[in-house]
């Protein structure tokens, strides 16, 4: 994904994985705001997953609207 320019002062990204389109599912990772890559090592081969990336503020724990949602495969 590309870093967000919609907000300043955010701390990083939370990555969610779902087996159903349109739902957030479970948190599977969290990365620093300078990272634009995440590898899900717990996904099962042959399954379809939907990943949603949102940015968050560390001082409040609040998240914002989804930045990116992708379907794999």
> What pLDDT is stored for residue 13 in this prediction?
86
> What pLDDT is stored for residue 65 in this prediction?
57
CB-based contact 3:36 (threshold 8 Å) = yes
CB-based contact 58:12 (threshold 8 Å) = yes
CB atoms within 10 A of CB 66: 13
- What whole-number distance in Å separates Cα of residue 60 and Cα of residue 57? 6
> What pLDDT is stored for residue 2 in this prediction?
72
- What whole-number distance in Å separates Cα of residue 30 and Cα of residue 12? 7
> What pLDDT is stored for residue 48 in this prediction?
94
- pLDDT tens digit at each of 73 positions of the chain: 776 565 567 788 889 999 999 888 999 999 988 888 899 999 898 999 999 888 887 666 565 555 666 666 6
What is the pTM assigned to this prediction?
A: 0.76
């Amino acid at each position: 994904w590309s870093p967000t320019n919609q907000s300043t002062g955010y701390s990083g990204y939370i990555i969610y994985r779902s087996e159903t389109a349109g739902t957030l599912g479970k948190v599977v990772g969290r990365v620093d705001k300078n990272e634009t890559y995440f590898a899900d090592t717990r996904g099962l081969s042959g399954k379809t997953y939907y990943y949603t990336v949102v940015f968050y503020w560390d001082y409040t724990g609040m998240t914002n609207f989804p930045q990116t949602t992708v379907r794999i495969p």
